[in-house]
Chains A and B, each alone.
Chain A
Amino acid sequence: DTGVSQDPRHKITKRGQNVTFRCDPISEHNRLYWYRQTLGQGPEFLTYFQNEAQLEKSRLLSDRFSAERPKGSFSTLEIQRTEQGDSAMYLCASSLGGMHYGYTFGSGTRLTVV
């Protein structure tokens, strides 16, 4: 197992286009999280899944954002009608759940909206 994988690493898109990112968690981890990080700030929570169920969504997650985790394995995060303010690093993390397990983060997808 090579850890949490995110694809693509970088994405440049024009304003108004839709983009989709993929996250492959560590295989035995049942929880998967999406965070967004802008330059000089800590990661901000977007949403998380336990298995295939989406259990919490942040107020940051507008209706242009949607996340799925079919079959409780990989997850996708889609942003529709991108705006320049969506430019950020999108981080995925997974964990075994429970309070004794840390989160393992992927290397992130850097989105630039021009």
Chain B
Amino acid sequence: EDQVTQSPEALRLQEGESSSLNCSYTVSGLRGLFWYRQDPGKGPEFLFTLYSAGEEKEKERLKATLTKKESFLHITAPKPEDSATYLCAVQVMKLVFGQGTRLTINP
């Protein structure tokens, strides 16, 4: 069965304190790995798609990387507005999501 596991479940950082979120997956026939950001009461907002091991994508303070078994979302010098739940999903014929990492950045 296709499975996505994110860790940690919750992470609290000080403003400017860099860290990484992990997404490990076991799927057959990976077509892509997606990262989304979700604010409370809203739908997920697309951040990145990664397709092959070794690929990296960057957007502002976020960088996503992919290996054959996991993906990392690195956040560099975060700001309070980066506080959100970050969701990882793998695409087989559909998106299969992890449970998310709830990130809080304290000013």
Binding site for B on A (CB under 8 A): 4, 6, 33, 35, 40-45, 48, 55-56, 91, 93, 99-100, 102-108, 110
Closest CB in chain B relative to A53 CB, distance in Å: 13
A–B pairs, 16, beta carbons within 8 Å: A4-B43, A33-B94, A40-B100, A41-B100, A42-B6, A42-B97, A42-B99, A43-B97, A91-B43, A93-B43, A93-B95, A99-B32, A103-B95, A104-B46, A105-B44, A110-B41
- Contact in complex: B100, A103 (CB < 8 Å): no
Known: A41-B99, A42-B98, A56-B93. 13 other contacts (CB 8 A): A42-B6, A42-B89, A43-B97, A44-B97, A45-B94, A55-B93, A91-B44, A93-B43, A102-B46, A103-B34, A105-B45, A107-B42, A108-B43
Please determine whether A107 and B31 come into contact, CB atoms closer than 8 angstroms.
no
CA A56 to CA B93, docked complex, whole Å:
9
B68 to chain A, nearest CB (A): 17
Whether A103 lies near B96 (C-beta < 8 A) is: no
In the complex formed, the residue of A with least CB distance to B10 is A40
Q: What 3 pairs across the A-B complex have the smallest Cβ distances?
A: A42-B97, A105-B43, A102-B46
Main secondary structure of the interface of B (DSSP, over half): strand
Contact A102-B49, Cβ < 8 Å, known A33-B94, A48-B94, A91-B43 = yes
Give the CA-CA distance A111 to B6 in the complex, in Å.
Answer: 26
Of the candidates B6, B41, B44, the one whose C-beta lies within 8 Å of that of A43 is: B44
Q: 1/0 per residue B43-80: CB within 8 Å of A?
A: 11110010100000000000000000000000000000
